[in-house]
């Protein structure tokens, strides 16, 4: 069975600073990887996904993530954050051949002015 570990429960950063949210996964088969964002009192919204091909994936709102198979990681990055990026971020994995998503426990990103 697959699992996801988000290494930081909270990440505080200053506005316009770069940020990295870390995600490691475990699976015995090939996987698809996702990052979702959840704003307060809202559902989850897809930021980006890795299915195959280039290991650097670009998503919405200036976010990008890099798939590293050898380290089983899929870290999310943004070079310059804004106050509006304050939210909860979830990493998720899906085994190829299945439609089921397994989520990490989330990372709360707080942007300080």
Strand positions, DSSP E, 7-106: 10-14, 19-21, 23-26, 31-38, 44-50, 56-58, 64-68, 73-78, 87-95, 102-103
Q: Is 46 in the site for another protein (CB under 8 A)?
A: yes
Taking CB under 8 A as the binding criterion, the range among 19-27, 62-70, 76-84, 104-112 that sits at the site for another protein is 104-112
Q: What's the start-to-end Cα distance of the chain, in Å?
A: 41
Which member of 67, 93, 106, 109 binds another protein (CB under 8 A)? Answer: 106
* 22 secondary structure, DSSP code: -
Q: Is 92 in the site for another protein (CB under 8 A)?
A: yes
Taking CB under 8 A as the binding criterion, the range among 20-28, 55-63, 70-78, 96-104 that sits at the site for another protein is 96-104
Which member of 12, 20, 26, 42 binds another protein (CB under 8 A)? Answer: 42
């Amino acid at each position: 069975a697959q699992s996801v570990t988000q290494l930081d429960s909270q990440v505080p950063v200053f506005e316009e600073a770069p940020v990295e949210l870390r995600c490691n996964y475990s699976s015995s088969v090939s996987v698809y990887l996702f990052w979702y964002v959840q704003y307060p009192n809202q559902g989850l919204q897809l930021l980006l996904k890795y299915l195959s091909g280039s290991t650097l994936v670009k998503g919405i709102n200036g976010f990008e993530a890099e798939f590293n198979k050898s380290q089983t990681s899929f870290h999310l990055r943004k070079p310059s954050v804004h106050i509006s990026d304050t939210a909860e971020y979830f990493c998720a994995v899906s085994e190829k051949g299945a439609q089921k998503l397994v989520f990490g426990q989330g990372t709360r990103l707080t942007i300080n002015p």
